[in-house]
């Protein structure tokens, strides 16, 4: 298992906590520190504002410093009908990404829109990207367990999915999938909700206030931070290959690395986790927050 630096915040404001896009100079310091801390992978997407162009300016001066996973545009195949049109769209979108990032090929290219799994022409185009050498692997970013199951049926190399202390919808699929599939865990802090100040939760997400207060009290009672417990819970899941963590500033990155490198007794993790086995889906699924 390894840490992967998420980059959505490098291109746009993001998260329920109202995180702000860092200055470019600060982003490059974050990338330097990530490298020094032996983080070797970045997760990005064409839909993350100008994140890929910002990363590209760093990669020009630091070639080979990171392996990068990106995602095709969400609406890439809208109104297309012929297999050739699909191929041309996929190739053009990926070539644009490679030019922005200033790299020769990707570690992985994923569907950003899981609905594309149901489109045979889209799947064929994605597979052709791998055959043509644009990427080492292909995959999808999913929101529902059924989408993850479908991705595995189609032979995807990567499945990116939300996993955290509150969200157990994917637990069974993660444990059962073949070891050749790389599982990328995102939404580790539930877009920041798990770490929010209780007053913030009250103002921005009042229906989650009671459960976040309970989580906070349990963590404090055992002498650990919420960040410590959230990451320790994921580290127990041996089938996860990478934990994607996005940051707004250097302090967050340092806190994440420290928490990841720390240890929490397994019995404490289990005692806390068992309190959150059946959290309401309106809380665990950010799609339903809107």
Q: What domains are there in the chain, each with its CATH number?
A: 2-195+238-262 (3.20.20.100)
Q: What is the pLDDT of residue 19?
A: 64
Q: What is the pLDDT of residue 162?
A: 94
Residue 68 contacts residue 100 (beta carbons within 8 Å): no
73-85 mean pLDDT: 95
Does 1 have pLDDT greater than 90? Answer: no
Convert the pLDDT of each residue in 92-132 to its tens digit: 999 999 999 999 999 999 999 999 999 999 999 999 999 99
- Which pair of structure tokens corresponds to residue 143? 């929101």
User: What is the rounded CA–CA span in Å between residue 79 and residue 77?
Assistant: 6
- Which pair of structure tokens corresponds to residue 195? 């770490």
User: What is the rounded CA–CA span in Å between residue 158 and residue 151?
Assistant: 9
Q: What is the pLDDT of residue 179?
A: 86
The reported pTM is 0.93
User: What is the rounded CA–CA span in Å between residue 152 and residue 159?
Assistant: 8
Convert the pLDDT of each residue in 128-157 to its tens digit: 999 999 999 999 999 999 999 999 999 999
What is the rounded (10 degree) CA torsion for 148, 156, 46, 94?
-160
Does 18 have pLDDT greater than 60? Answer: no
Cα 199 to chain centroid, rounded: 27
């Amino acid at each position: 298992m390894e840490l992967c630096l998420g980059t959505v915040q490098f291109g746009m404001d993001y998260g329920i906590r109202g995180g702000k896009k860092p200055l470019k100079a600060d982003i490059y310091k974050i990338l330097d520190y990530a490298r020094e801390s032996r983080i070797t992978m970045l997760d990005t997407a064409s839909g993350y504002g100008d994140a890929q162009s910002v990363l590209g300016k760093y990669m020009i001066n630091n070639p080979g410093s990171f392996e990068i996973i990106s995602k095709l545009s969400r609406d890439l195949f809208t109104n297309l009908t012929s297999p050739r049109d699909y191929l041309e769209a996929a190739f053009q979108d990926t070539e644009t990404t490679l030019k922005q990032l200033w790299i020769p090929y990707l570690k992985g290219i994923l569907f950003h829109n899981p609905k594309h799994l149901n489109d045979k022409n889209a799947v064929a185009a994605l597979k052709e990207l791998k055959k043509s050498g644009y990427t080492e692997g292909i995959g999808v970013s999913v929101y529902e367990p059924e989408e993850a199951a479908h991705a595995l049926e189609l032979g995807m190399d990567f499945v990116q999915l939300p996993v955290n202390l509150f969200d157990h919808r994917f637990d069974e699929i993660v444990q059962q999938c073949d070891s050749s599939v790389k599982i990328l865990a995102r939404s580790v802090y539930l877009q920041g909700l798990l770490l929010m100040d209780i007053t913030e939760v009250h103002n921005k997400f009042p229906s989650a206030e009671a459960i976040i207060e309970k989580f906070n009290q349990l963590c404090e009672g055992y002498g650990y931070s919420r960040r410590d417990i959230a990451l320790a819970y994921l580290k127990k899941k041996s089938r996860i290959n990478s934990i994607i963590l996005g940051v707004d500033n250097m302090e967050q990155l340092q806190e994440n690395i420290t928490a990841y490198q720390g240890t929490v007794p397994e019995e404490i993790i289990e005692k806390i986790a068992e309190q959150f086995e059946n959290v309401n889906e309106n809380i665990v699924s950010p799609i339903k927050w809107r």
